[in-house]
Amino acid sequence: MRTVAMCAAATILLAFARTAAAQESLLAARHLYSAAAYEDALALLNRLRESAHRATDNRYIEQYRAFCLLALGRTAEAERAIAAVVTVAPAYRPSATDASPSVRSAFRDVRRRMLPGIIQQKYASAKAAFFRKDLATARAGFKQVLELLADPDIAQAASVPPLSEMRTLATGFRDLSSPMPPARPAPARPQPPRIYGLSDAGVVPPMAIRQSLPPLADVIAPRPGILEIVIDEAGEVESARMRASVNAAYDRHVIATARSWRYWPARFRGAPVKYRKIIQIKVRGAR
């Protein structure tokens, strides 16, 4: 037993010593880079890359490898190192104090190419976590998606589909995966719940789970119509009415069908609320 304990202690000490040595080597490489000894810094980083080190050091090793490779004019290798950094730390951007304008430009170009794909992957992972009810993981994932969508390096890509649509979906899923606020005591005189709508600021609109209009094939003399529904806090259609008629028979069919629709409920300040939704029924060739 004593021999086993001594061996275990020796293994732990050896691992600690290797980690400490790796930390010292990384610090030494940073000093060499700062001193413009790029070849020496790169050689040290390459040795460190192949030796035992903490997984969290990979980003810093590749980051300073990219700095050195760019300084040496080895652009293709530098881009591969930058890609490795972006993969593990997509939010990282070199600051003006860390890197020259040319280095920041190289990172920006790689990030612009990679971030849209990374964002879509992280959105898919967060959505999968949401549906398996791992809400903490989902919430963190959607939060990261929204932070990356706000990154200035991809402002143009984030303003058009598919990323612009993903921002709305990620916001809704993030809110749905957030803990419900503590219940408040009921007022002495209960008031009917407020019905929110498109004009109310700060409200996350409901998202459709099931919503499809019946076909218009048998409708005589159809006209464009407007359907108004109220979606309750559980995502069910509480009421439905036609504000503009298509056809009397079709109106009845639409209202009956609408009552079977289901939604992720609207939210205001994290809590589900009632919501009035207006749906336009467009008819080709209608007058």
Q: Decide if 145 contacts 169 (C-beta within 8 A).
A: no
The pLDDT of residue 119: 96
> Which pLDDT tens digit goes with each residue over 155-179?
999 999 889 889 889 998 898 888 7
Please name the helix (run of DSSP H) or strand (run of DSSP E) that holds residue 279, with its range, or none. Answer: strand 271-281
SS3 124: helix
Instruction: Centre a 10 Å sphere on the Cβ of residue 175 and count the other Cβ atoms it contains.
Output: 19
Joined together, the tokens standing for residue 35 give: 């001193």
Identify the pLDDT of residue 183: 65
Taking 50 as the pLDDT cut, the residues of the chain under it are: 4-20, 286-287
At 79 the pLDDT is: 95
Burial of 284 (0-12, 13-18, 19+ CB in 10 A): exposed
Region of residue 110 (left: phi > 0; alpha: psi -120 to 50; beta: else):
alpha
Look at the block and give the residue holding tokens 């058009």: 160
pLDDT at 20: 46
pLDDT at 56: 82
Q: What is the pLDDT of residue 3?
A: 52
Q: What is the DSSP letter of 89?
A: -
At 64, the amino acid letter reads Y
| Residue 229, Ramachandran bin (φ over 0: left; ψ between -120 and 50: alpha; else beta) | beta
DSSP-derived secondary structure letter, 270: T
Domains contained in the chain, CATH given: 2-175 (1.25.40.10), 195-281 (3.30.1150)
